[in-house]
Structure 1
Amino acid sequence: MLDKMAFFVNVIRCGSISAASRKFDISVSAGSRWLQSLESQFGMPLLRRTNKLLTPTPAGQKLFEEFAPLVDSAHHIQQSLLDYQEHDKGHINIACTPVYANHFLMKEINDYLVEQPHVTFSLNITPWALDHAGEADLMISANATYQGYREQDLHLVRREIMQCPFVPVASPAYLALYGTPQSPEALSHHRCLFASTLTGSNDWIFTCGPETQMIKIPKNLEVNDSDMLLQGVRNGTGIGYLPEFVVRNDIQNGYLVPLFSDYGTSTWSLNLYYYPPQRASAAASSFKAFLLERALG
C-alpha cells in the first residue's frame, strides 16, 4: 500500500498517470490499477478526472499533503544509504538550464566518466531547473542579476560557477535594413527577440553611470532556448540580448555587431544548487566537487 500511496503522490506532482508510471517503471495500465486499488482500500475517490486533467479530491489533497513529506524522506534515506557505496558508483539526477547543457555539461560529464565509468546520469534539460528540486540531486540554473535583484530562499546550497554580462547584438544585415539604434530607448522601434528564461521577462537592463534603466522591449518573438535565439539574431530576424559567452565568437567573426557600447547591462549568473552533505549521495557530492573544481579552478 505504501508504494501505491507514493505513486499517488507522484501522479499529483507529475500531473499524469503516464509520467508517474515512467518514474516507477510500470505500465500505465498497472499505474491505473494501483490508483483504483488505493481508492478501493480507502473507500473514497482520491482523484477527479475531467478533460484529461487529474486533480485531487479533498481526501486526495489531504493524503498528498500528509504523505508527500514521507515520500521525500524515503528518497533522502535511500540516497544516504548510497553513501555506503564508493563514490565511483551510483546514479545522479541533474536538472539543468539549456544554455549550460548545450555548451558545457556534456563535456563535463564525458570527462567525469573517463575517471568514474560506473556512475550513471539522468539529465532533465529545462529552463526551470529549480522547479525539480524535489527529484534532482543537482540543479544548474541561471539568473539575470542586476542592482536590486533578490533571489528566493530555496533552502539549498548555492555556488556560482559562471557569470558574464549580457550583450545586445544584431546582424549586419538587420542593421543595414532597419538602421542602428543609438540608445536603448530606441529599441521600442525595432524588432526584438527575447527569452524570458534568460532575463526573467521582456525587460532589458541598461546602466550608464549610477543610473539603471529597465527597457521593456517589444514582444516580437520569444523563445526559451538561447541557441535558437542566437540563430534568429544571426539570421537577421531582430535584435537580441544574450550572455557574452554565447555571442563572443560571432562578434569576433563579424557575424554579429554589439550595440550600445557606452552602456552596461545585467549579469548572466549561472549557479549550481545542491543539498547539504547530510542529504546528498556520495556520487552526487563527488560530481558536484568535480564541477566546482573545473569551474573555479
Structure 2
Amino acid sequence: MKIRKILNNNAVITLNDRKEEVIVMGKGIAYGKRTGQDIDGDRVIKTYVLNIKNSKDKYLNMLKDIPLEYMEISSKVIEKAREELKIDDSLYISLTDHIHTSIERYKDKLILKNHLLYEVKTFYPKEYKLGLYALDLIEEKYGIRMQNDEAAFLAFHIISSEMNRNVEEIYGITDFIRSLTDIVKDYFHMEFDLDSLAYNRFITHLRFFAVRLFKNQSASSNESLDNDLLEIMKEKYVEPYLCVSKMQNYIQKVYSYVLSDEEVLYLTIHVAKIISKK
C-alpha cells in the first residue's frame, strides 16, 4: 500500500485491495515518509475504511491532533461494542477525540456534569456500560478516575454511531424520550420497572420513533391501519389511550409533528403493557 495522504506521524490515508480509502495507523508509520511511498506493514496497528459520508474533513482534522495511545483505548471499547451493537468506523475518531479531550480536561480539573446521566443509564444501558468500561481503561492507563457523567458523554458517541445520527441529535432524541416517559409516569403516578420486558420494548419503540420524528418521516407500513382497530383499542385501553393523547398533544405542540393513527395505536399498546402490572 502506498501513502495517499499523511495525517500525522502515526496515521496515513491509503487505498485497500478494493480501492476503498482507508486510514492506516501505527506508531511512527509516517515518520520521514512522503506521499507515494510504501507503508511499512510491520508498523500497522489498525486499519479501517474511511466511509464517513458527512463532515469527512472535520474527522480528519480531529485525527491529526490525537495521540495514538488514545486510539488504543477506543479500539478496545469498540471491539467490545461490536459484540452486540452495529456501529461504523467513524466512531474510532469521534470516541478517541472525546477520550483525548476529557483526559486533558481532568488534568486541568475541569469536570463537567451530564444533565442526562440518568436518562443514558436507563434508556441506553448497553452503551452506558461501554462508557464505564472506557473509564476503567482510562484509570488503568493514566491513573485518572473520571465521574460516571463522563461515561454518559462517551455513550452518546456510541449511540450516535449506532443510530447514524450526530451527537447533537442524540441529545435531542434522549430529551424527547425523557419527556414522553415523564408524561406516562405523571399520568399514572408510577415508576417504571427498568428490568421489565415491557419497559425495554417501550424504550426501543420510542428510540426508533424519535429517529423518524427528527427526520420528519411518518411510520411506514405495508398495510394501512384499519380505523376500527384503533377504536377497539380506545375502548379496551381507555386510560393508556388518554395518556397517549397527552403525548400526542405534547409532540404536536413542541415538535410540530402529527402522529398517525398507527403510531397512536402502537404507543397505546406499549403503555397498556407497561401499566398492566402496576
Is TM more than 0.5 here?
no
Higher RCO (C-alpha under 8 Å, 6+ residues apart): 1
Choose between structure 1 and 2: higher strand proportion.
1
Choose between structure 1 and 2: higher helix proportion.
2
- Please classify the TM superposition score into its range, dividing by the shorter chain length: under 0.3
Q: TM-score, normalised by structure 2?
A: 0.26
Q: TM-score, normalised by structure 1?
A: 0.25
